[in-house]
Structure 1
Amino acid sequence: MERRDHQSSQAETARILVEFLEVAISSIVFLKGVYPPGAFERRRYMNVVVQRTRHPQLREYIHSAVTGLLPFIQKGLVERVAVIFFNNENVPAERFIFKLTINQSYGQKVEEANFEFSLRSFLIKLSVSEPLTKTLPRDCRWEITAYFRSLPQASSSKEAESWIPTDTKQWQQPPLISPIKSMTSEPLTLQLYVEHPSLSEPTTQ
């Protein structure tokens, strides 16, 4: 029974978190101005006004990416979820990082109201975080990348087959980090910060 309670807590936490990530990532893409403002519509989520993408393919990309992480987040395998924006040389220019930990030994009922109150503050912070970011080049591309603590076995998980190793270029120097928001509300610890290349980062020739 105790094991079932643990699994229930992690499952509920992962479900709420994945739903939140979908909204938060849409908010980040809107914040960066990658698409015209008309590509988004105002909606209310967790009693906060947020921007939801109207384009079906864009909405499906964000939705499928984060919902595909659900079983791995629940098992504690996902360490970070990143929204990466690239420059014209296909090198990361800016990264929004959600660093997360779900306490796998937590067995109590998740207080959803308290949990959502904490997550709501992330959406509020995101909406005013533009001063922490940098202007992106025109026609830049972006992607969602997940960093795993340990790799799931593709042979034992159908969901794992949809995640492939990335060939994204990495910075050679430690990045500059600007914190946006952090929280600890059992069983979840979550940090959101934005990364930029170090001033000493070699430039692409």
Structure 2
Amino acid sequence: MGGETELVVEFLEIAITSVVFLKGIYPAGAFERGRYMNILVHKARHPQLKHYIHHSLNQLVPHFQQGLVERIAVIFFSDEKIPMEKFLFKIDMNHSNKSYEQMMEHAELELSLRSFLIKLSQSEPLFKTVVSQDLRWEITAYFSSPPGDNVDMWVPTHIKQWKQPPIITPIKSMNIEPLSVQLYIEHPTVLET
């Protein structure tokens, strides 16, 4: 795994765990506090939760390296497979800049990623908009073009789509060469709830 890709996957693992923690659908005991980039974060403690997040993101590594991954979504949905909320990480990694280590100060990138995680932890009120005991969730990747290799390993989502354009709530964005990340929430319009 390249340093740039490894950093993005590691960051997304912490960020997605934070989204799931802040959503409050698991007991607090499923998480533990730890340090990442010298800030306090929540990490998955439950083995299945930890494995699902880690495995899902690590399966995307070759697709990140090829520049195919556009967005990663954490979709919260009802038993009827109707999405209630989508937390989307829009990711753009500039792979044309091969001299990444020479041109980018690692400390500057780390500072931006830390700022992103701090903002995420301070956005807790945005996570409590949809609360349900029957809420389920999944990680979904959106690609710029279909991945050509091992199509059999991909599991299509069975989550229904909204009929109307969603309401979008931006949370945080950062743009530091060669990485651009935006986090926003999509909610169904009033007509669909």
What amino acid sits opposite 1:114 in the alignment?
Answer: E
Alignment of 1:17-166 (within 5 A): 17-110=8-101, 111-133=105-127, 134-154=129-149, 158=150, 161-166=152-157
Alignment of 1:187-202 (within 5 A): 187-201=178-192
Please tell me whether the aligned partners of residues 75 and 140 of structure 2 are also in contact (alpha carbons under 8 angstroms). yes
For 1:187 and 1:142, the matched residues in 2 are separated by 30
- Cα deviation per residue 1:41-93 (whole Å; 9 max; x = unaligned)? 10010111011111111100000001111110111100000000012322110
The aligned length equals 189
- Cα deviation per residue 1:142-185 (whole Å; 9 max; x = unaligned)? 0000000001113xxx5x54323222211111111111111111
Greater shift, 56-65 or 162-171, is seen at: 162-171
Please tell me whether the aligned partners of residues 85 and 130 of structure 2 are also in contact (alpha carbons under 8 angstroms). no
Q: TM-score, normalised by structure 2?
A: 0.92
DSSP-derived class of the 1:169 partner: coil
What amino acid sits opposite 1:145 in the alignment?
Answer: T
Instruction: After TM superposition, give the deviation of residue 98 of structure 1 in Å.
Output: 0.2
Q: Which runs of 4+ in 1 moved over 6 A?
A: none
For structure 2, the 5+ residue unaligned runs are: none
Task: Provide the alpha-carbon RMSD of the alignment.
Answer: 1.5
For structure 1, the 5+ residue unaligned runs are: 1-7
Please tell me whether the aligned partners of residues 118 and 183 of structure 1 are also in contact (alpha carbons under 8 angstroms). yes
For 2:26 and 2:158, the matched residues in 1 are separated by 25
For 1:34 and 1:181, the matched residues in 2 are separated by 23
Q: 1:13 aligns with which of 1, 4, 12?
A: 4
For 1:164 and 1:109, the matched residues in 2 are separated by 33
Q: TM-score, normalised by structure 1?
A: 0.87
For 1:39 and 1:131, the matched residues in 2 are separated by 21
